[in-house]
Structure 1
Amino acid sequence: MTDAVLLVLACVGSFAGCAPRLARSLHPALAIKLLVPASAIMTLAGWFVLAVSAFTWVGQQPEVAELGPWSPRALHVQTPIGRGPAIGALVVLAATGAWALPRVTRTIQALRAVRRAERELPTTAALVVLDTDIPDAFTTPGAGGRIVVTRGMMRRLSADERSALLAHERSHLGHRHSWWILIMDLTADANPLLTPTARAVRLTTERWADEDAAAELGDRPLVARALGRAALARSSYKAHAAAGTTAATGGDVPSRVQSLLHPPVFHLRRGLAVLASLLMLVSAGSVTVERQGEHLFESAGASSAHDRFGTHGTRLVSEHPHIPTSQPGGAVRP
């Protein structure tokens, strides 16, 4: 079981290291659809094997063993995971939980704040133009998400550039990019190793919307110009994107402009091979940990049952010597 635990943790670490590069090696739409679920799988697998490892030691404590049908002595003897690694796994779980809880809470609270603000918009139309000089444009989350653009942003763009900006935002709305980002942010909250991946996912959703806008308008330089001018207009207004919102000026704008003007070469086969290999290995390792962990506690449970039955049986014979007992050779003692 120890080897399987190490395999899973190695896969989780390897994925965290290569996921941002995988985001660049795949087409943006495919990258998001693969990396966000894969990140969730890796996080769940890492938490699971750490929990199993920690419980091999926690289960040996008499107070805990009383709650389950296993022998703490047998569990101590049979467990393949040493006391130090098991306690280490418990410490990692506790530290990660303490790190994640306030961040998940803040993300959820920020999302609720965005939803409340959305209900206060002056219209229920899909496109909302706010009468303010602050240059901004974004898409709100939710099943009824809407595109919000300010008059300040519209005045800074030409008619063609406004069309490019709105095409970009329509892509965000149509593909529910806000939810992909929200799921990835929550996953990164639960697994700090995936924080760079969460940043890469935000950038990649913007690249996805850029590509959709370029395909819709058939003019990549126009989309690049609109993106650059929108970013320059918004640079005078310093603000962070709210949880779950997507904005045309988000992410690394220079790299997005570069990708529009000089489309990158994607390495589909290599990226898929790396991702598939990691997912297969982490799945196999997790299944092995689950089966061996189950067998470990079943074996410790059988030892507990044997101990209880043996002690009870010996007491019965000593207290009731008239009970017939089997003797070697099949004879029955009267």
Structure 2
Amino acid sequence: MRLKRTLPVTILAMAPAAIVLLILASILYGAKNITAGEVWNSITAFNPDNVDHQIIMSSRLPRAVGAMMIGAFLAVSGALMQGMTRNYLASPSIMGVSDGSVFAVTLCMIFLPNANPNLYIVSSLIGSALGAAIVFGLAWCIPQGLSPVRLAILGSIVGTFLSGVAHALSTYFQVSQNISFWYNARLHQMNPELIRLSIPFAIVGLTLAVVISKSISALSLGEEIATGLGIRTWLTRALAILAVVLLTGVSVALAGKIAFVGLIIPHIARFFTGSDYRWVIPVSGVLGGIFLAMCDIVARFINYPFETPVGVVTALIGVPFFLYLIKTRGGAGA
């Protein structure tokens, strides 16, 4: 029991050093290697005429920071979804939330081609809400629709449908090349302006997640227990869904759909922290950011010197993990 209390504190205490090292590694290594001295010079004495300085400040640094943010947002979203539904297979990519965002961004690019970055974020948030509403609405209408495997199937069906419609529309309106960024999740195309604009939405989503973390712990024990403890379950679920919509919508707006982060990381976090979501949520955020940043670095060397979408790396890890969960957990709730 003492170990379960010590581990999350240790992880959170070591996180800043790990984050700094990973950001540095992400800046140093790529198609063009950059020296640590050049990184320091770009920060202390930026020279706009220096190509390396431009690469660092306009591409490498936003990419590293963006990967950390997106990994954290998706992991926290997955933890919230798994806790409030008691479904160990719940995650934004499996429950149709990410596909809803991509669908809405596609519509935005088709009908509002000159939209500013703010509108991409807003449309992505609307799409997240749409995907979640369709999946959970169908689940509540179907007998045992909220069971882990059935909810995962529903999410996959809705997500595939929304993704297919988005592909068809982008091809018909000849914007498939422009929208391919959101399908392939290429972090090297990270927009620094979008990162800045996403921060307020992310702060609200993360704050909500932390505020309701104690109630999520009660919900993860079951509806009757949570009600007996005085938890307003409908309010907790509504706030959790809002947090998931905000965090997932921002993630998709920044870099497109990235699968399996929200599925894998909460399970790893619970292994270290137990089932108390006051620890699960922050530890998931830290591990999610570190995990995606590491995957991004690995993706650069799979087909060096060409870029490989980071989704390939997360899928190589996530698909076996997904099958493992189904095999070992069957249809039981989380």
- Normalising TM by the smaller chain, what interval? under 0.3
Q: Which has the higher strand share?
A: 1
Q: Which has the higher helix share?
A: 2
Q: Compare CA radii of gyration and give the structure with the larger one.
A: 1
